A and B are shown apart, each in its own frame.
Chain A
Amino acid sequence: MITDAAPIVTSRLGVPNSWTLKAYLETGGYAGLRKALTMGAEAVSAEVMTANLLGRGGAGFEVGRKWSMLAKERPAYLVINGDESEPCTYKDHMLLEADPHQIIEGTLICAYATGAAQAFIFVRGEFALGIERMTAALNEAYAYGAVGHDIFGSGFSVDVVIHPGAGAYICGEETALLESLEGKRGYPRDKPPYFPAVKGLYMKPTIVNNVESVSNLPWIVLNGGDGFKALGQGRSTGTRIFSLSGHVRQPANYEIEMSKTTFHDLIYDPKLGGGIRNDNQLKAFIPGGASAPWFGPEQLEMGLDQEAVGKAGSMLGSGSVIVMDHTTCMVRASWRITRFFHRESCGQCTPCREGGGWLDKILHRIETGAGRESDLDLLLDVCDNIAPGLSWPPQKTTICVLGPSIPSSITSAIKMFRDEFLVHIKEGGCPFA
């Protein structure tokens, strides 16, 4: 069902010039920061802990717990991850363009709560308008006294820098992002020892939070952690933006209450996805970005709930739901996702760099008619070398999780649509072409 929970992070969408300070102040902007500064850092952290806000970047780790793990060494830094690049995820792109002040306010609340010496908002380089709007908003926020020295006369000071990326999916991974922010190639770091909370930016304790995560903070401060927790159920609290794409009539970003709305509602409700285009049949959907194992029509009634989706062998990940109708070639879909990971591999670890290339080539030859029957076993064997056991969540043979994310689409497609692979191989080509 769709609940009547009011939007939290998208409340200003559609407000004329929502990205300007004037519009932001007229809609209650910076009230959360003002309140936070009177509460004390520990009280702010306690509210966020109570809210049980789960990170909105992909891993779904509790934001409050992340803050509590920050090592005591100083200086500590705050980095906001706006490097959104997971295929079919486009919520942060929207927030950066439509509500930059909300991101800045959330960043400041986080910096205050964690005692960060400086904050960096890392914006995906391709988001030119997002970078412009964030920069303009930051200029306004400084002039307004919300950023910089002695914020709103509270005695708390912090500087914020908008940092443009330069195009690399891997920089969404937090340790690669930190390397990139240090002016280097985006190579992920080993964890341990390089947990950002202990050895992050410049080897100092660092919090890395997603853009949507911190966009929730002004509301949580104003309405309390309990108010946030009253929405959703279990560990999946609050509302969340779901990026809906693929073969639906109304692909868009929808902010809805977590857990209570089902995938069926999201895809078919007239107020949300509006159903499959041309009244086609649903073949499969991906519940949480290109890295997530696929679901079929039998999982439609599941709630948009982090735990439920996890138990069913997939993840809500970055919150992007991709819908594929019965006209979709699953070999092609799986190949395209695999080619993406192959291209975006940073190249440090052999299983990912080489395995990704193998998988890309094998899937390509099946799709184009040169596949062999032994290819299905070969695909699974290569996948097993990248993520041994092909379990969920995957085992790692690599520094980061990019490599172990590659098998998801392949094992899903083979498990759910094995016959389709065999038809490609037997008929020497794609039956959908």
Chain B
Amino acid sequence: MYRHQFVLVGGPVVARLTPDNVRRAKDLIGLYPQSRSALIPMLHVAQEQDGWLTPEAMEHVGELLGITPAEVYGTASFYDMLFTEPVGRHLVSVCTNLACLLNGGVELLEHAEASLGVAAGGTTHDGEFTLEEVECIAFCGAAPCLAVNWRFFGSVSPDTFDQLVDDLRAGRLADEVPPHGTLCRVRRNVGLTSAGSPAAGGSPGQAVGGSPTTVSGTATTNPPSTGA
């Protein structure tokens, strides 16, 4: 497996999954008839923990599933969202596929490269931003568009791009844009109940932990509008 030493901005790498994340991983395994189905969701947990997939975390995920590190890495390396090398705190994904191409997406990417001082695929020296060119991110009604840590921004101009970068750098968008790797801020708070053996520790037919969690802080991600 690919290994070398990294120094990351924002603190040391946690070598393996934390006890809390091991519990989350085991809950995920409990959701599926076959444990390996939990692999990708578990890798998202590992990426949320460290911002990328460390070799140690991948090894730990393999141990929990009873598969080899090579099988974990072999799966992870197929997917665009899973990073087996460090990335910046903010992953800026600019779309240049057709709808964005027709509406200035390529020019937006060029502006982003000049503004951040890195080519697509690169990370700024301070570790704040990794810039990438992505395929269609399904926000075409607001082309040209981009995502930061998979929170979507539409109709982006060079000026609004620079403003966005300033806001991210200053932490003004911390509520809307969590650190890279944080996919879902809502925990499943009920277990599998029909089988009679809930995964998350609740009793059959009952929700665990009081009222269901709701989502807030979505101002930047309104869904595209629809016709009447």
Contact A166 B135, beta carbon cutoff 8 Å: no
Chain B 80-123 per-residue mask, 1 if CB under 8 angstroms from chain A, else 0: 11100000000000001111011100000000000000000000
- Enumerate A14-40 residues with CB–CB distance to B below 8 Å: 19-21
A87 vs B37: C-alpha distance when bound (angstroms): 27
CB of B141 within 8 A of chain A? yes
Give B residues with C-beta under 8 Å from A.
Answer: 31-34, 36-41, 43-44, 65, 74-76, 78-82, 96-99, 101-103, 135-143, 147, 149-152, 182-190, 192-196, 204-205, 207, 211-215, 218, 221, 223-228
Contact A143 B40, beta carbon cutoff 8 Å: no
CB of A230 within 8 A of chain B? no
Contact B194 A158, beta carbon cutoff 8 Å: yes
Closest to B187 in A: A135
* Nearest CB on B from A417, distance (A): 16
Give A residues with C-beta under 8 Å from B.
Answer: 7, 10, 13, 19-21, 75, 84-90, 92-94, 97-98, 118, 124-129, 131-133, 135-136, 138-140, 142-143, 145, 148-150, 157-159, 161-169, 180-186, 202, 241, 243-247, 251-256, 271-272, 290, 320, 322, 324, 328, 332-333, 336-337, 340, 343-344, 346
Please name 12 further chain A to chain B contacts, defined as beta carbons within 8 Å, in addition to the given A161-B31, A336-B101, A340-B136, sorted by A numbering.
Answer: A90-B224, A97-B221, A125-B44, A128-B150, A143-B211, A163-B41, A164-B40, A165-B40, A167-B79, A182-B36, A202-B34, A290-B97
Q: Which of A84, A85, A164, A166 has the most CB of B within 10 A?
A: A166
SS class of chain B's interface: helix, strand, loop or mixed? loop
A140 vs B212: C-alpha distance when bound (angstroms): 5
Closest to A290 in B: B98
* Nearest CB on B from A249, distance (A): 12
Q: Which 4 A-B pairs have the closest CB atoms?
A: A167-B80, A183-B39, A157-B194, A167-B81
Instruction: Determine the chain A residues whose CB is within 8 A of the CB of B33 once the complex forms.
Output: 75, 118, 202
Instruction: Determine the chain A residues whose CB is within 8 A of the CB of B188 once the complex forms.
Output: 135, 138-139, 162
Given known A87-B99, A166-B43, contact A93–B193 (CB-CB < 8 A): no
Closest to A409 in B: B98
